[in-house]
Chains A and B, each alone.
Chain A
Amino acid sequence: MSNPFEKRATEYLRDDEAFLSVVTPAPLFTFFEPKAKDGVLFDRLVVVIGTPGSGKTTIATLLQYKTMDALRRTTGMENHKELVQALSRCGAMRDGEIVLCGCRLALESEYRDFWELPYPESVKTGLMHSLLQARAVISWIQSFREANSHSVEEIEIVPKDPSPGRIEQIGGISGPGVYARACEMEREIYRIGSALVPPKLEALSKLALEGYSPFEVIDKLSVRQGGSDSAREYQPLVILDDAHSLHPQQLAELLRWLARREQQASRWVLMRLDSQTPQAALLDSFEDEQPEEAERGPKVAREVTTIWLQRKDDRRTQRTQFRSMARQMADRYLRLMETFNRGGITGLASILDVPAESLPSGKERELAKRVLKTQEELRIPGVIRRDLEKEIATYFEGASSEGSAADVQLAMLQILMHRFAKRTPQVGLFEAADLEPSRPVIANAGIADGARIQLMHEYGRPYYFGMDALCDGASENAEIFLQLAGRLVSLCETRIIRANRSGPSLPASLQHKELRQKAKEMMDEWRFPERRLVNALVDGIAAECIAKALEPTASLGGGPNAFGIPQETFEQIPKSHPRLAEALKYGFGYNALHIKQDHGTKHVTWCLVELGGVAILKHGLSFRRGNFLERTPEDLARLIKGEFP
């Protein structure tokens, strides 16, 4: 039986009903609703930026007219109300009716190819802009014809400026005229762009080169309803997906053109983070371009609404939001699987949220002996040990959600003893009464995390299990989440079928093993540009972080998962270490690494180069953010030095 978690996201995009059954509206609420409230979603250019798998195409698909129409028709769907509510709050629907006619154009390599044509820049960009407009018009009209079976004769455009010259160049205002003109333009320009050897400039037809600007002319699309005289008007929206495929200059020209105030149609541009230059990608400088770049692009802040999916601010909230979104998504997928449906299993969390198995008694005895040995070596008096044990017990009383297994308590005790020894002068075994550490030794969540990490590495105790661990391993990326979850769901399905009974949870040790194995496989399958350099960076950072995490005092609790580079030196990386900047850009763009800028610690502003969730899973580090090793760009460059000539 097929596992919906293992299907590619694009599979769901083909069939509207299938897509609507799994899509979650959370990103619309999170990222788009605030902008809609400000009224800046449809009156100007909107640029949406995110990493692969962050949901750009899903959002574009949801806003297509035909998808919204399918939603309107299938009112019985479980998440129908939520989706309608999200679309209404974003201004795409009103009182359950569609007010927006969205079409998505994927900017495939075909559009990038125009940049390679042997013509002046103005001709190349003009051809591409005309093709985009022609296809948008065709898509708008076709979506009415397909979804509602309106005939093309029932469609009219409402022009902004009714001057005859402008209307004539788009084929008039009648549906058939506008459609025919768009088809004619598309055919002509496609022929030029796809030619094996492009025609000479002189051989280009007048049709391809003459003015064609429906985005400037079309204010609304009007559709007559079922033979009556009443008509409904729709705001046209074109969503240009995957704009990162364009040449940077082509993209800048496109943004500048779309940002022009003359444009009447709503227009969104969706692109990936790594489409930016290393400078821009690493430093979030889309809004702070260099003067020479700014000349080409639009005046971003004033004319463009920029929406960053999965971005820097308030990462704690983002993680919480993603966990909630991922749960919804997983539960929807799970309900598509007959095996789980039959067993009444509707939530992935019910399968995964189990307590960790403690160490086997033999290993626990070994740990206890080791703690005793540590006590002797560090000359910790019995009374101090009892105090520390009490401290640990008190911590667990106040932290009911955390597992307080004996093995974790022992490992914490060992860490606390090391900390105690480090903070007190060396003393004899019976001088306990006067012992006072320079700073109090306390048990907290960091120590507990450190203990669990050390137990994982030293005794193989499961660490990665439960729904939250699964979500955190996905680095707030839906596609990675589905890949990781798919493995666990498959395993669970097999167990249910084999045992011929429903409901068995997956043991923590099995989840831990499978997640780490899957993470390793995913990293082995990395095939993005500069992956060798990115691998070297990831492995190098991880090795040093593990060494720190396994220090007896667990000075950084669960340990670091990042290198911290002083912000000002980090900003020089694109110039001082261009190859490193490239590697960081791709690592960042493909979720292997995260960049957290302006992180203030110890009166210094740092830029954290953090490992992505999959790398953390593979190498066995903590998901807790904020702990880092102080390093320099040279340290990062050293990690990749052997990887290029």
Chain B
Amino acid sequence: MSASIRWQPCISHRPDEVEEFVVSYFGGGDSKILLIAGAGFDPRATSVAQLLRRNCKLFPDAVFIKEERPNPDKVLVERASANLDLLKPCATSSMVLEVSVFASDGAVVGGRSVLRQLDAVDFSPYSDVVIDSSALSIGISFPIVKYVLNRAQLSGQNVHLFASDWPTLDHVIQPQLADRASNVHGFRKVTELYSAASVAKLWLPQLAPSGRPALQRIFDEVQPSDTCPILPFPSASPKLSDRLLAEYLTELESTWSVDTGSIIFADENDPLGLYRTILRIDDERTLAFEALGGSLLILSPLGSKMLAIGALMAALDRDLPVYYVEARGYEVDWKTAGKVDLSASSIRHVWLAGSVYP
């Protein structure tokens, strides 16, 4: 028998439904909204704020988060600044949280830093908290979502997660990786207690172009018993899966020793599909490994924002560890990025907590 599923049913809206939802839900002026969004260089940074601005009677208050990384590229700084200029008019009042993702010694501290600052924000006046993860790294956005959800459990606030996703754009933004993988702050660690029995660890890395160095570091860190890679299929680029299989051939064959039947196919545009798949695997393994010390799934969402949402929901639902490699900086192929059509709507909404879930 399967364990309960937290978001079943789940209220969510596909890109073609989002605008209608925003008009109908936020357009009436009954909601007092707090928007939490990234104010970085990412071209997607302003999409959700502008969507709210277009359709809300009452502009939201906003907390804009600037992820500060050491020695940033001048172009990125300029673009982030321009995005912030576009974001500010979308809010009635706003504050900017400057979050140092790295400490002076290179340690990843972004998750803790952002929560320390967010803890000082008064959430009580708001009926709805909207988190836009489009321009936030998972090391920042995942802890925020968990933190806001924890607060909402006490206050009954509505929590909405929005993400604007263009997979092509993710592929042209290449991270300069930190030297080792870490778990996302606030989420479970692979080794919690030495005194606990050892569990069978199944790692579910999400494959993404040029993600090999990151996944190698995560593999070294989590040392899984088994690996089931997640392949984005179907995806916007029909040949993406083939390219990824070729790119990761050595890992699949030798390093991770993956059977062909162990590959998970996940619709690139369907976070809930991945969420449910992960939960199903968790249920089945929990039963199978019950007598052998238990099972633990480890998630590593790379690449697509949509699939990252699915992984986040699964991690929140089942208290799963999320491992990633933080970016010390980014290299962007602006030439290719300029060709990505950002006008087409690609925003997805997931209603995580509040009045719709009695």
Contacts and interface: CB of A to CB of B under 8 A. Distances in A.
Interface of A: 2-4, 6-8, 10-11, 13-14, 108-110, 112-113, 115-116, 118, 134-135, 138-139, 142, 182-183, 186-187, 190, 194, 196-197, 245, 247-248, 274, 525-532, 579, 644-645
A116 B112 contact: yes
Given A108-B221, A196-B143, A247-B107, 10 more contacts: A6-B250, A8-B216, A14-B223, A116-B112, A182-B195, A186-B194, A196-B185, A527-B177, A529-B179, A645-B74
B105 A138 contact: no
Nearest to A105: B194
Interface in B105-158: 105-109, 112, 115-116, 119, 143, 146-147, 150
A139 B194 contact: yes
Given A529-B106, A644-B71, A110 B189 contact: yes
Interface residues of B, number: 49
A645 B107 contact: no
A196 B219 contact: no
B341 interface: no
B213 interface: yes
A532 B176 contact: yes
Return the 3 tightest CB-CB contacts between A and B, nearest first. Answer: A527-B177, A196-B186, A6-B254
A247 B255 CA distance: 31
Nearest to B108: A109
Contacts of A6: 250, 253-255
A530 B254 CA distance: 30
Nearest to A146: B198
Given A6-B250, A109-B183, A248 B105 contact: yes
B212 A525 contact: yes
B131 to A, nearest CB: 15
B255 A109 contact: no
Nearest to B222: A10
Nearest to B112: A116
14 contacts: A6-B254, A6-B255, A8-B220, A10-B223, A14-B223, A109-B180, A109-B182, A113-B112, A142-B194, A245-B107, A247-B103, A527-B176, A527-B177, A529-B178
Main secondary structure of the interface of B (DSSP, over half): mixed
A10 B257 contact: no
Contact of B255 (A7, A113, A186, A529): A7
Which of A4, A529, A532 is the most central at the interface, judged by chain B CB atoms within 10 Å of its CB?
Answer: A529
Interface string B174-204: 0111111011011011011111000000000
B73 interface: yes
Given A7-B254, A183-B195, A196-B147, A528 B177 contact: yes
B214 A527 contact: yes
Main secondary structure of the interface of A (DSSP, over half): helix
Given A14-B223, A196-B143, A187 B176 contact: no
A182 B331 CA distance: 46
Nearest to A9: B220
Contacts of B214: 527
Contacts of A194: 186, 188-189, 192
B328 interface: yes
Given A11-B255, A527-B214, A529-B178, A247 B185 contact: no
B231 to A, nearest CB: 20
A178 B127 CA distance: 51
Contacts of A116: 103, 109, 112
A10 B216 CA distance: 11
B193 to A, nearest CB: 6
Contacts of A248: 105
Nearest to B143: A196
Contacts of B195: 138, 182-183, 186-187
B177 A2 contact: no
A526 B212 CA distance: 11
A2 B328 contact: no
A113 B184 CA distance: 12
B177 A112 contact: no
A194 B184 CA distance: 11
Given A247-B103, A644-B71, A196 B177 contact: no
Contacts of B212: 525
B127 to A, nearest CB: 23
A223 B216 CA distance: 40
A11 B212 CA distance: 17
Contacts of B112: 113, 116
A271 to B, nearest CB: 13
Which of B106, B183, B214 is the most central at the interface, judged by chain A CB atoms within 10 Å of its CB?
Answer: B106
Contacts of B73: 645
A190 B194 CA distance: 10
A75 B107 CA distance: 43
A196 B103 contact: no
A188 to B, nearest CB: 11
Which of A2, A14, A109 is the most central at the interface, judged by chain B CB atoms within 10 Å of its CB?
Answer: A109
Contacts of A138: 194-195
A390 to B, nearest CB: 51
